[in-house]
Amino acid sequence: MSSQPKAAHFSAWQRWTEGPRLNHASLIETLDGGQAFRWARYPDYLEGRWSDQVFRIKVAPGSSDLLEYSVPVSPEPTHALNALKHYFACAVDFAHHTDCLPWRSDPVLTTAIQAFPGLRILRQPFAECLFSFLCSSTKQIPQIKAIHEIVATTLGSQLPDGSHRLPTWPQIAAAGEAPLRAAKLGYRARYIYQTAEYIATAGTDWLREVEAMPTELARAELLRLPGVGRKIADCVLLFGAGRLDAFPIDTWVEKILTRAYQLEGWKLPQLQQFANAHFGPLSGYAQQYLFAAARAGKIAS
């Protein structure tokens, strides 16, 4: 558990009646299960940051799936709520998407869906998501989270509660590689700094343009960046651009596919083809169900 920053004055808890319905396990898995790395768990709630936002979220007392939120007191509460709606991708009908997945003929997927009802794919800021997954290579979630906090505190602007947001890519480019190495990023520091330089050369609109491209074109552009392979590119597309057809394969997912689906000996390109064919255009969403269920020991991995 992370140490809590000095308390700002947070608003009273407000029921998010128009928000998604998530039980406690699905809420934790959505926010703190490997999609995002700036959420911390406290006894009664989760607290997280993205862009210029700070939120506390919990399941409402007496409810099984109604959420409540609290934010640092601000003159613009509507802005915060709109940011929360976007972050949770409230415009996306995940219930419909879940029903469209091939769970009727796939008992492994059925088990995963039942373990985490309502699990969502977050819509994170694209630029921050790229930074996050460049940090993630060969690191465990607690290590990635610790790196984020060091980089934010060192290079990022201050947030209303006294903590710091992640730096922008121009801030990273201006700071150089040394602060990244000091954050224990190792060889990733060079990739992140080189990516910052690439983005600076490509122009301020480059990330926005890539986010709007069709999936295949966007992936090809991301693969130009130092240190970005297929898995990182697909994570950025899935969690930062809402591309539910992007299917990241890390070691967890590779083990799930080879063991739960009896695909031993298959190479990564073959596993990718299987995922695209079996799970269809929502394969990335299926991947998150499988990833969550495997980590929880609900399915073979």
Task: Tell me how far CA of residue 28 lies from CA of 24, 41, 90, 174, 178, in angstroms.
Answer: 6, 8, 17, 35, 34
Task: Specify whether 75 is located in the same domain as 160.
Answer: no
pTM > 0.85: yes or no: yes
Structure tokens at 198: 């690439």
Is 208 a member of any domain? yes
Domain that holds residue 78: 1-91
CATH of residue 41? 3.30.310.40
Is 278 a member of any domain? no
Q: Last residue of a domain, which of 45, 64, 91?
A: 91
Is 270 a member of any domain? no
Helix (H, G, I), strand (E, B), or coil: what is residue 72? strand
Angle between helices 251-260 and 268-279 (to 10 degrees): 70
**Predicted pLDDT of residue 75:** 63
CATH of residue 212? 1.10.340.30
Question: What is the count of structural domains for the chain?
Answer: 2
Is 45 a member of any domain? yes
Q: Last residue of a domain, which of 222, 241, 260?
A: 241
Q: Last residue of a domain, which of 241, 258, 274?
A: 241
**Predicted pLDDT of residue 3:** 46
* Angstrom distance (rounded) from CA 222 to CA 205: 14
Phi, psi of 227 (to 5 degrees): 80, 0
Is 194 a member of any domain? yes
Is 51 a member of any domain? yes
CA 91 to chain centre: 17
Please report, in tens digits, the pLDDT of each residue of the chain (301 residues total).
444 445 568 999 999 999 999 999 999 999 999 999 999 999 999 999 999 999 999 999 999 999 999 999 876 778 899 999 999 999 999 999 999 999 999 999 999 999 999 999 999 999 999 999 999 987 889 999 999 999 999 999 999 899 999 999 999 999 999 999 999 999 999 999 999 999 999 987 999 999 999 999 999 999 999 999 999 999 999 999 999 999 999 999 999 999 999 999 999 999 999 999 999 999 999 999 999 999 999 998 7
Is 112 a member of any domain? no
Strand runs labelled E in the chain:
14-15, 39-41, 46-50, 53-59, 67-70
